[in-house]
């Protein structure tokens, strides 16, 4: 990402992260930042299709530490999947090491967004009171699940919109090929990978976490509404396409 665009995106995300920022302001700042990031991803993919040396397939490892390490992993997966990256979760102490695979430009986008969303999630959790009849840890885990679920849906919408608005008929084939190449790179290093089991969460924070995800608007369709009714007070199952070592 060029220094000028990177500076602009970081400024927008920093404004969205400010605790003094209203939900409407955070929505506008984050939506614009994500629009720029999505367009950048398509532009880099098309450039790399002409000259593969400009954007090689690579990998990096991120350390995810307690508290709520597994829930942070869920947020990272929600960001990585729409941006055509894949994750492998490895146990490390009281947290995890997340091995990310993707093209260099997409790994850069994941790192930038995940860092910002962690800050936004922390602010949202701090501003949300835990109901007196709920366990604090259970509430916060379900809150983070709701937040991640909405973020993932909005990122898929933003990426789809950027691809459809590119004006290049072959962009879908280019992006599909990139996803296939990332999957092959992961399979080379982890030939016997298994999918992580779904989680069963019983806290009542999913609805308010989803609401916070809506205010951290990432542009695109209002997919969070499908989770708004009836899910805030019952146990839920959270599934992510996340590889895990045996």
Q: What is the pLDDT of residue 72?
A: 93
Instruction: Spell out a b/e string for 195-206, using b for 16 or more CB atoms within 10 Å of the CB, else e.
Output: ebeebebebbbb
- Phi then psi for 134, rounded to 5 degrees? -120, 150
Q: What is the pLDDT of residue 192?
A: 85
Query: Which pTM does this prediction carry?
Result: 0.71
Task: Report the distance separating Cα 197 and Cα 152, nearest Å.
Answer: 18
Q: What is the pLDDT of residue 38?
A: 66
**Within the chain, which residues score under 70 in pLDDT?**
1-10, 34-35, 37-52, 166-169, 197-200, 215-246
Nearest-5° Cα angle at 200, 195 to 206: 115
Q: What is the pLDDT of residue 220?
A: 34
Q: What is the pLDDT of residue 60?
A: 93
Q: What is the pLDDT of residue 2?
A: 55
Q: What is the pLDDT of residue 234?
A: 33
Q: What is the pLDDT of residue 71?
A: 92
Q: What is the pLDDT of residue 101?
A: 96
């Amino acid at each position: 990402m060029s220094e000028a665009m990177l500076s602009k995106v970081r400024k927008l995300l920093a404004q969205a992260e400010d605790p003094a920022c209203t939900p409407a302001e955070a929505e506008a700042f984050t939506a614009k930042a994500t629009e720029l990031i999505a367009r950048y991803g398509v532009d880099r993919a098309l450039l790399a299709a002409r000259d593969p040396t400009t954007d090689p397939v690579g990998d990096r490892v991120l350390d995810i530490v307690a508290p709520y390490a597994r829930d942070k992993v869920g947020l990272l997966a929600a960001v990585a999947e729409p941006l055509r990256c894949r994750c492998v979760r490895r146990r490390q102490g009281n947290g995890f090491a997340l091995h990310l695979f993707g093209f260099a430009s997409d790994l850069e986008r994941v790192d930038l967004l995940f860092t910002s969303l962690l800050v936004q999630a922390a602010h949202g959790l701090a501003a949300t009171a835990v109901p007196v009849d709920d366990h604090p840890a259970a509430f916060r885990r379900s809150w983070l699940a709701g937040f991640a679920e909405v973020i993932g849906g909005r990122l898929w919408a933003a990426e789809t919109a950027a691809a459809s608005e590119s004006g290049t008929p072959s962009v879908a084939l280019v992006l599909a090929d990139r996803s296939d190449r990332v999957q092959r790179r992961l399979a080379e290093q982890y030939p016997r990978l298994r999918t992580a089991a779904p989680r069963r969460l019983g806290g009542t924070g999913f609805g308010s976490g989803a609401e916070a995800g809506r205010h951290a608007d990432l542009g695109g369709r209002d997919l969070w509404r499908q989770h708004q009714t009836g899910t805030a007070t019952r146990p839920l199952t959270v599934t992510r396409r996340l590889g895990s070592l045996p």
